[in-house]
Amino acid sequence: MSEVKSIAVLTSGGDSQGMNAAVRAVVRSAIFHGLDVYAVQRGYYGLIHDDIRQMDLRSVGDIIQRGGTILQTARCKEMMTLEGQKKAADNLRKRGIDGLVVIGGDGSYQGSDKLSQLGIKTMALPGTIDNDISFTDFTIGFDTAVSIVVDAINKLRDTMSSHERASIVEVMGRHCGDIALYAGLASGAESILVPEIPFDLEDVALRMKENFEKGKRHSIVVLAEGVGNGEDIAKAITSRVEIDARLTVLGHIQRGGAPTHNDRILASRLADFAVRRLIEGDSGKACGVIKGELVATDIHTVVTTKKSFNMELYELASRLSQ
C-alpha cells in the first residue's frame, strides 16, 4: 500500500504549450489511483503563499488542447531563499499533501530539488519550449514552438522570394539553440546560428551571396536570440553583400497556441509516469523520455548537467543548405 494519499501539481517559470495537458494527466491519473489531488496557483509564489485548491475530474475538462497554463505561473525570488523553500514545504505538510509534481524548466527544477532536500516527495516534468533540460530528448512545448517557427518561415519565404531578399529570423533560445536548429533544418534555412557553435558573419554572408549567384531567389537565416542582436546581424550581413536582409523577431508567439499532438502525448505520458512513480515511493526525480522510453533521473543530477547539443543534426543542416 502506497504511503502517498494526496499530491499537488504546479506550473512554474515560462509557460509552454502542453502544460495544460500535463496538469490534466496529473489530476486524472491521481484520481484514477484513488488519490486526492490539489492545484497550486501561480507556481512557487502560490505555494509559498498557500494558494492551493483541491481538484476533481471536471476541473481539468476541455483543457488538453489549450496553450498556456490554467494554473498560471510566476517568477518567485522568495523560492531562491531557504526561508521561502521551508515555507513552501510547510504549506504542503500543513495540508497533508504527500507529493508534488512540478512542471517547468531549469529554475523550476532547481526549486523541486530544494524541496526534495527538505523531505518533500517531488517529481519534475520538463515544461519549456527551449528543450534545454538534460536527460530527456524533448521537453513539453518544444515540438509546438518549432512548428510555429517553421510555419512562420514558410510564410516569410513566399514574400522573400517575390522580392529576392534575405530573411533573418530570430527565435527564442538564450543558451540553447534547439529551436533554431530544428526549425532551421525543417525549413531548409541556409544558415543556422546558435549559442553552442561559433560562427563568422563573413562566412554567413559569403554563403548567402554564393546561393544567390547560383540562382536562388531568397535566403533564410535562423538565429537563436542568444547569439546576439538580430538587427545588428542583419545590418552586418547587408553591409557585406548587396542583398537586402530583413529581420523578423518571432518573440513570444512561439509560446502560444494549441499544442501539437506530439506535445499533448508527451505531456500525458510524463505526467502519468510521475504520478505512478510517486505512488511507488520514488522521489527527487526528473521525468523524461529518451529514445521513446520514459526515464526518471535524480533531479540534482539533471540540474547540474548541461544538455549536449545535437551536432549530427547541425552538420546535416549544413550539408543540405546548398
Task: Give me the active site residues, please.
Answer: 130
Provide the sign of the torsion angle of the four alpha carbons 96, 101, 104, 105, taken in this order: positive
Backbone angles phi, psi at 26, to 5 degrees: -60, -50
DSSP 184-229: HHHHT-SEEE-TTS---HHHHHHHHHHHHHTT-S-EEEEEEGGGS-
Q: Measured between alpha carbons, how far is residue 319 from residues 188, 206, 313 in Å?
A: 11, 16, 10
* Calpha distance 27→101 (Å, rounded): 10
Residue (of 278, 262, 20, 251) closest to 127 by Cα position: 20
CB atoms within 10 A of CB 100: 27
User: Letter for the amino acid at 176?
Assistant: C
Asked whether the beta carbons of 140 and 126 are under 8 A apart, the reply is yes
Buried b (16+ CB within 10 A) or exposed e, 232-251: ebbebbbebbebebebbebe
Q: Which DSSP symbol is given to 130?
A: T
In this structure, what C-alpha cell is assigned to residue 142?
Answer: 518544444
Backbone angles phi, psi at 194, to 5 degrees: -130, 155
Q: Maximum CA pair distance of the chain?
A: 72
In this structure, what C-alpha cell is assigned to residue 158?
Answer: 513566399
Q: Which residues contact 73 (CB under 8 A, 6 or more apart)?
A: 11, 12, 13, 14, 15, 42, 43, 104
